[in-house]
Structure 1
């Protein structure tokens, strides 16, 4: 469990930093649009930095999304099963889908990013930026996803052994009834 907690902490820390990249991307996007439409000027570098920042958010925050159990799921089907069966389905998915796919992408993505770094690859667009920081996000993001996958597997196995409560790895989704009650309470206050 110590390994799982360390991985979770690492991905939480990275996600907290990357959240600022999203804000920066939005500000650059808005500023670029204002300049483009008001002054009829633009720069490929500003467009590419937006792309890099969004790529960083997606690649580096995805493991955090997995940790928080907020990834795309088939709850409509699995929600009918017992918690134990749901955990077995998670384990199956992590071991036979998530981990192999991440390893394959890491295997091919690492040389892809490394070659870009070695060549000092630049954008083919006029005024564009260096490309390797965006390309290196692929292996880094998938390495972090593999780590988070290991953490999630550890937690599911601990749950199946009776060493961990399911609340340690499941999000608390409000039921429709809870949402209705919250709306009623909010309306009573107003």
Structure 2
């Protein structure tokens, strides 16, 4: 490839890679939005279990296990969406002090050397465990329980895959930003803009009071 064609290839990638990132982002957003409804379903099923037990002296192992299924599904399929929203608990000492370019480098290197190895390890470590469950179509150990334990355990493989997808999105967007092809490193507004907006809101009542005083 000639050196003259290299800029053309770079600009072509800069046009198509954001589309790839947006497509992958749609997957995690759709999965996260869908499984969020499981939180409401858990509340309703828990209410039904309590009413059956204390109101009618009846119980259902399947209903009780379904709560566990929904909770596990919500956690394992929603973790990538939570990462997308930057909503995981963390202690931020230096990150917000960096420039946007500095934060892009932190996100890029953190994704490559922390997030990716952990997700790969989780996938490899869970593979045999999930394969054993599939080989016997593992079901509940309780009589009347749900038969899909093998499907539930499969989420141990789906979770790191979704996390890797989110990591790939960050690599693409932050890489393009560092290379100068994107004006924003990430899809979310920077957190350090919040105090400015709050200060503007606080200044508005003072400005109105001053205008009334001058008038």
Shorter-chain TM-score: what band? 0.7 to 0.9
More relative contact order in 1 or in 2 (CA 8 Å, sep 6+)?
1
Larger radius of gyration: 2
Give the conservation status (yes or no) of the 8 Å contact 1:102–1:145.
Answer: yes
TM-score (norm 2): 0.76
The correspondence for 1:162, drawn from 169, 177, 180, is 180
For these two proteins, the number of residue pairs brought into alignment is 184
Which residue does the alignment assign to 2:138? 121
Farther off after superposition, 81-90 or 159-168: 159-168
Which residue does the alignment assign to 2:60? 43
Quote the offset at 1:176 in angstroms: 8.4
Which residue does the alignment assign to 1:53? 70
Which residue does the alignment assign to 2:10? none
Task: Tell me the distance in 2 between the aligned counterparts of 1:167 and 1:114.
Answer: 39
Which residue does the alignment assign to 1:71? 88
Task: Tell me the distance in 2 between the aligned counterparts of 1:26 and 1:110.
Answer: 32
Alignment RMSD, CA only? 2.4
Task: Tell me the distance in 2 between the aligned counterparts of 1:179 and 1:64.
Answer: 30
**Structure 2: runs of 5+ lacking an equivalent:** 1-17, 206-215
**Structure 1: runs of 5+ lacking an equivalent:** 186-190
Quote the offset at 1:140 in angstroms: 0.9
* Cα 1:122/1:180, change in 2 over 3 Å: farther
Task: For 1:97-176, list aligned pairs within 5 A.
Answer: 97-130=114-147, 131-166=149-184, 168-171=186-189, 173=191, 174-175=194-195
* Cα 1:179/1:66, change in 2 over 3 Å: farther
The correspondence for 1:178, drawn from 198, 201, 206, is 198
Quote the offset at 1:125 in angstroms: 2.5
TM-score (norm 1): 0.85
